[in-house]
Amino acid sequence: EAEVAQSPRYKITEKSQAVAFWCDPISGHATLYWYRQILGQGPELLVQFQDESVVDDSQLPKDRFSAERLKGVDSTLKIQPAELGDSAMYLCASSPALDDGYTFGSGTRLTVV
Amino acid sequence: QQQVKQSPQSLIVQKGGISIINCAYENTAFDYFPWYQQFPGKGPALLIAIRPDVSEKEEGRFTISFNKSAKQFSLHIMDSQPGDSATYFCAASGTTGANNLFFGTGTRLTVIP
């Protein structure tokens, strides 16, 4: 069964450092999402791509977060500088099109110390 | 503002019993209602989903009941098993334009033998 690949699985970083996460969606999936899940809560959308274009980044804290999907395939989410409150699970998901259900990866667990 | 409200926060059920989780929404533009199952350290996995043109959908031991007039939907797990112990999230999205999912806060289900 096809999977959404994410790396690293775990990341510990010091406050004010830069950190990056990588996602490889299921082959052929045009739509890619980054969600953040704080422990004990449901995932919340950070950014949504359709191919290489951003569809929705209204909840992305753009002063410190950036996301790109340059060739419309894999994607990188960056935080610079990291803050203690950024500690969370960062989940990537993909779907074939805007109105299809989507598949999540296993996520990157970020701890900021 | 929580777009989707979920209850209970936690649920303990005896093996063989019925687990019931409830969700409510306000946005009448929502027309896709999935349920996700999440095990510790893993991303959410799609369990079952419903659209508002039907009031009930069953897949194996899992059933979604949907009440469009009340803007409520629920997940029923029949013959609950210890392997069903996980966190369950309801979600909702519209399918016109960006279809990002809005998640509930989750229900931690424990099925005791």
pLDDT in tens, B6-49: 999 999 999 999 999 999 999 998 988 999 999 998 899 999 99
Summary mean pLDDT of chain A? 93
Residues A56, B41: C-beta atoms closer than 8 Å: no
pLDDT at B41: 86
B110 token code pair: 């424990």
Please count the residue pairs, one from chain A and one from chain B, whose beta carbons lie less than 8 angstroms apart.
Answer: 54
Residues B99, A4: C-beta atoms closer than 8 Å: no
| Euclidean distance between the first and the last CA atom of chain B, given in angstroms as a whole number | 38
Torsion of CA B7, A84, A31, A99, to 10 degrees: 20
Say how far apart CA B24 and CA B66 lie, in whole Å. 10
- Does the structure show a pLDDT above 80 at B98? no
Q: Which residues of chain B are within 8 Å of residue A56 when distances are taken between CB atoms?
A: 98, 100
Kindly state whether B51 is in contact with chain A, defined as any CB-CB distance less than 8 angstroms. no
Q: Which amino acid, A3?
A: E
Q: Which residues contact B40 (CB under 8 A, 6 or more apart)?
A: none
Residue B41 sits at the vertex; the CA angle it makes with A68 and A85, to the nearest 5 degrees, is 60
pLDDT in tens, A70-96: 888 999 999 999 999 999 999 999 988
A68: closest CA of chain B, how far (Å): 18
Cis ω on the peptide bond leading into residue A81 (within 30° of 0)? yes
Q: Which of B41, B49, B105 sits opposite A41 (nearest CB)?
A: B105
Residues B42, A48: C-beta atoms closer than 8 Å: no
A80: closest CA of chain B, how far (Å): 24
The helix/strand/coil state of B80 is: coil
Nearest CA in chain A to B89: A42
Element (H, E) at B4: strand B4-7
pLDDT at B96: 60
- Does the structure show a pLDDT above 60 at B97? no
A63: closest CA of chain B, how far (Å): 22
pLDDT in tens, B46-86: 999 998 889 999 999 999 999 999 999 999 999 999 999 99
Nearest CA in chain B to A45: B100
